[in-house]
Amino acid sequence: MQHPSHPQHELRFSKKTRWCPFPCDACGATEEGDSYTCTLCDYWIHERCVLLPESKDFPHHHHSLSLAFYPSPEYIRYEFVCGICSTNLPLRHWVYHCVLCRYVVHLNCATSTFDTKNENANTIDDEKDGTKFPIAVEDMYEEMIRFEIDIKCASLPDTIKHASHQRHNYLKLVKADDFRCVMLPATNKHRLENHLLPLTYDACVNRPGDFYCSNCEVQMEPTMWMYHCRDCDQSFHPRCFPATSGDYRNIKYGTQYVISNIHDHPLRFQIISKKKKCGLCHRDKYDWPGFQCVSCFFVVCKACGKGPSYSH
């Protein structure tokens, strides 16, 4: 027979009654049974794989899935994993995938029984800002070793519910590094947009095409968490909101200072948004923490503004 997975040669039917030591080039499994082979290329696939439909509806996804004879290069480049078992995709075996959602699964996972039970989950209430707590707590051991930990990390529960993983009831704390993503605010507002953008855990659902951050213009991994508005089709990295979900989100902003040797007017500590360059070092500090004049357009970066002669 001719099969589109191997167009260069015909495949010959072979009835197997013993265990075959070669893995199927479609699903990767080594099992006995009837098969189709190409003796010129050592190409071998199960009969059941040959008979798989080119597209099929599965209970674990809301769109019809299409059969592909190898994963898309995009899936490999962005290190996509199987949507069911969450393990790596094969480089050369067949997969079922959704072209609308970039959802991709192994052959065996697609055709096996899958628990689609949905559990309600809620994000952690991000309004309990860390800026409302001390920045760090300290402890002194009897061996005189100083130990410091951020108050948010010290307050982490052992398990949480989270909207990004509704399949199971709880996520278990493994290491505090994950806390950075868990505590991202559910909505965020960017200076380039006049409305709130929701935190999206899989923006590629029902949205084919590439994603580019509207702030830094870098292409984004399709399945990464991002702030995305479906109405205006704008996407942002969490790090591109420096004061709320980026590198400077645990800094307390809004305090005014008088720095007499730098500027005559009071300066407010905040993310610089009035001008691109620092008024002293003339480096580009836009979207970085710094000091802005409350009366004029003077701005100075944090490094230049930190000095011995300022007061509240």
- What per-residue confidence (pLDDT) applies to 173? 65
Quick check: is 140 in a domain? yes
Task: Please name which of 308, 291, 123 lies closest in space to residue 200, comparing C-alpha atoms.
Answer: 123
- Residues with Cβ within 8 Å of 140's Cβ and at least 6 positions away in sequence, in order, are 146, 147
Q: What is the DSSP letter of 213?
A: B
> pLDDT tens, 250-278?
777 888 888 888 888 999 998 888 888 89
Quick check: is 121 in a domain? no
CB atoms inside a 10 Å sphere around CB 151: 14
Quick check: is 96 in a domain? yes
Quick check: is 143 in a domain? yes
Strand order in the sheet with 234-236: 187-188, 197-200, 226-229, 234-236
Going from the C-alpha of 40 to that of each of 7, 8, 77, the distances in angstroms are 13, 10, 31
CB atoms inside a 10 Å sphere around CB 175: 7
d(CA 247, CA 238): 9
Please tell me the pTM assigned to this model.
0.54
CB atoms inside a 10 Å sphere around CB 14: 14
* Widest Cα–Cα separation across the chain: 91
Residues 65 and 107 in one domain: yes
Strand partners, 37: 12, 44
Quick check: is 41 in a domain? yes
* Structure-token pair, residue 134: 């001390």
CB atoms inside a 10 Å sphere around CB 272: 22
- What per-residue confidence (pLDDT) applies to 54? 92
Residues 36 and 61 in one domain: no
- What per-residue confidence (pLDDT) applies to 177? 53
Strand partners, 65: 56
Work out how many domains the chain is built from and give that number.
Answer: 5
* Structure-token pair, residue 89: 């995709």
Quick check: is 247 in a domain? no
CB 277 within 8 A of CB 231: no
Q: Going residue by residue through the chain (312 aa), what tens digit of pLDDT does each one get?
A: 999 999 999 999 988 645 566 789 999 888 777 889 998 888 989 998 999 999 988 888 888 999 999 898 888 888 888 988 888 888 889 999 988 888 899 998 988 744 433 333 333 344 334 634 444 444 444 475 566 666 666 666 667 777 776 666 666 666 655 667 777 888 888 877 788 889 988 888 778 888 999 888 899 888 888 999 888 888 999 888 877 777 777 777 888 888 888 888 999 998 888 888 899 999 988 878 899 998 898 999 988 887 544 444
Quick check: is 251 in a domain? no
Which residue range(s) make up the domain with 98? 55-111
Quick check: is 124 in a domain? no
